[in-house]
Chain A
């Protein structure tokens, strides 16, 4: 089962290696991991989506807390947090299909960020499931390149 964890860490060299190493060492599967600064310059927030059973989740939580540079670990349940991810995708689009593609982009409240010869590049943000749906709709047109950021999340309220 997927769980989203928000891991507040000291903004120090090597912290990412400590956290990532812990996951591989203890055999926990990571779906995605996103790191960035927070409102405090000395603190970074890692958003980790792990795919584990309940028992292992407790171990993930405890083992993360054991890392000296980890300040706090928060479990973010889907129904009590806001979760977002961004996708950038370059899709084939010629004169015939371009309008159709842009229509899909509009429905998903995405943005065209670049237009090339026979391709357009789009950004969309939203929950991971929305981006996956978007990706699938574009697939028939021919996906040239694609990148996703991994989920970031904040608790509600």
Chain B
């Protein structure tokens, strides 16, 4: 039986188990939107294509499933690009479908034509321009496989309108026929795993440095077992938050530029780093040539290109974090049973001292942003899904909202995309309706995609938007204060003049609240959490010139912390 290309596309998405997608229609994708009316796939209409991409991203990060977004050609597709790049940088499985002008006018600068595959090429895992309707099914199948396996990432499918309209025999392939160049290694090399076990047992001052890869690979349980087996301290990256319970005594919290002092001291003094699903990014290492001078490094990652990219590694292990950790545990357990765990008590004593001497702290007086985050933590019993934007509030969220479960902390780490939070929170809530979702936003970030309040209101998405309103692009202001002689170039957002966030929320049909005093925070949060049928925005008028500390200045050594 022949069906249209658009029908073939939607049927293929159904075959891949897509139950929700986020998008925005337009001319060249209209045939697909027409078919969507008759599909069981739920489509969430956002108010901007960027919102659709971030929502699909948030959905994927919250659930582990592939997020799907869709737009028309030209400006629709270019508006997706920031969201695609955001997802890809953080290894989030995303399939983005864009309409394209008809095949016979591609390359003629037709109305709303953009070279979508060309534009997205540097920011995707892979992309496709479908030129024949008979390629649709296979392409969708490959796209989902590529997005969700190996090191996950973003895949773009560019779909010309005539391909959508042409009739085709539809048959969904049972299994992939051809991806000759794609063979991710999932099982770690045995000899390397043995060598890793040997180094771990020999280490006097070991540390586990865990990244987002632990969450992607669903290896948190294995990580916990490993840490417990040998009493290994664990620090995580921003994206690794929740991979290991931050409430655990072995947790050092986050490391890096705004990490805890003790995590950074540990990295600089350790004799063995066990890096799992993390990539030694510049926000983690600080100045590279002084980083972890005494450490041997074991690096477990599914992407071979990450191993040895920034730091040289003693034991490289390419593989799926979960499988490798299982094998590593199997190699370690009999040895530990035989001769007991190595004595690292001096190391732990040192760490306890650092923790005592350099705790994260909330300055007294006024309405402090750190206090707001801490209250959110307390009132939600540490169980909320936190979705942040980018900037100071993001770092305070990372520092003060202790996560105990994977997929609990959702943030744009690699690309650092302002405007990510609100749409991603919508996607996360739709993916996990039973979860309390709090978008901790900045007054700058929220304005980059505030139109998505309409999406949340109209779809009854009950999220709490906590705007940490300091009237500044706070992180840039902080850098100007510290490194640009307090020359505040274009970072003052003039709160109190525009916008009024409470009225903005109300204009969209959401409940808006304003909090100006510390003693109002708890009450406001409790009231917000009572609302079950739509979003609530709380405008927290915090201290204007609070800084995020500790801070490793860009290019400085990791133990050279300001305010640490």
* Beta-carbon contact of B118 and A66 below 8 Å: no
Alpha-carbon gap, A107 to B294, bound state (A): 60
* Beta-carbon contact of A59 and B309 below 8 Å: yes
Q: Which residues of B contact A66 (CB under 8 A)?
A: 303, 305
* Beta-carbon contact of A25 and B122 below 8 Å: yes
Which residues 66-121 of A have a CB within 8 angstroms of B?
Answer: 66-72
Partner of A14 from the list B117, B180, B305 (CB cut-off 8 Å) is B117
* Beta-carbon contact of A17 and B180 below 8 Å: no
* Beta-carbon contact of A62 and B121 below 8 Å: no
Partner of A21 from the list B122, B303, B304 (CB cut-off 8 Å) is B122
Partner of A59 from the list B117, B118, B305 (CB cut-off 8 Å) is B305
* Beta-carbon contact of A10 and B180 below 8 Å: yes
Question: Which chain B residue shows the least CB distance to A55?
Answer: B308
Q: Which residues of B contact A31 (CB under 8 A)?
A: none
- Contact count A vs B, C-beta below 8 Å: 37
A13 at the interface (CB under 8 A from B): yes
Most chain B CB neighbours (cut-off 10 Å) among A21, A25, A68: A68
- CB proximity of B184 to chain A, nearest CB, Å: 10
A5-39 to B contact mask, C-beta < 8 Å, 1/0: 00001100110011001000100000000000000
B181 at the interface (CB under 8 A from A): yes
Alpha-carbon gap, A55 to B305, bound state (A): 12
Question: Which chain A residue shows the least CB distance to B312?
Answer: A55
Most chain A CB neighbours (cut-off 10 Å) among B122, B180, B304: B180
Given contacts A10-B181, A14-B129, contact A65 B117 (CB under 8 A): no
Alpha-carbon gap, A58 to B121, bound state (A): 22
A63 at the interface (CB under 8 A from B): yes
Given contacts A25-B122, A59-B309, contact A70 B304 (CB under 8 A): no
Given contacts A59-B305, A62-B304, A62-B305, contact A68 B121 (CB under 8 A): no
Question: Which chain A residue shows the least CB distance to B127?
Answer: A14
A124-141 to B contact mask, C-beta < 8 Å, 1/0: 000000000000000000
Question: Which chain B residue shows the least CB distance to A63?
Answer: B305
Question: Which chain B residue shows the least CB distance to A21?
Answer: B121
* Beta-carbon contact of B118 and A13 below 8 Å: no
Q: Which residues of A contact B121 (CB under 8 A)?
A: 14, 17-18, 21
Given contacts A14-B129, A17-B121, A18-B121, contact A71 B180 (CB under 8 A): yes
Alpha-carbon gap, A25 to B120, bound state (A): 13
B224 at the interface (CB under 8 A from A): no
- CB proximity of B314 to chain A, nearest CB, Å: 15
Question: Which chain A residue shows the least CB distance to B179?
Answer: A68
Question: Which chain A residue shows the least CB distance to B150?
Answer: A66
Which residues 390-434 of B have a CB within 8 angstroms of A?
Answer: none
A32-52 to B contact mask, C-beta < 8 Å, 1/0: 000000000000000000000
Which residues 122-166 of B have a CB within 8 angstroms of A?
Answer: 122, 125-126, 129, 146
Q: Which residues of A contact B304 (CB under 8 A)?
A: 62, 65
Which residues 170-213 of B have a CB within 8 angstroms of A?
Answer: 179-182
Partner of A58 from the list B180, B181, B303, B308 (CB cut-off 8 Å) is B308
18 contacts between A and B (CB under 8 A): A9-B181, A10-B180, A13-B129, A14-B121, A17-B118, A17-B121, A21-B122, A59-B305, A59-B309, A65-B181, A67-B181, A68-B125, A68-B126, A68-B146, A68-B179, A68-B181, A71-B181, A72-B181
Top 6 closest pairs, chain A to chain B, by CB: A62-B305, A68-B126, A71-B181, A71-B180, A70-B181, A62-B304
Chain B residues within CB distance 8 Å of chain A: 117-118, 121-122, 125-126, 129, 146, 179-182, 303-305, 308-309
Given contacts A21-B121, A66-B303, A68-B146, 8 further A-B contacts (CB under 8 A): A21-B122, A58-B308, A59-B309, A66-B305, A68-B125, A68-B126, A71-B181, A72-B181
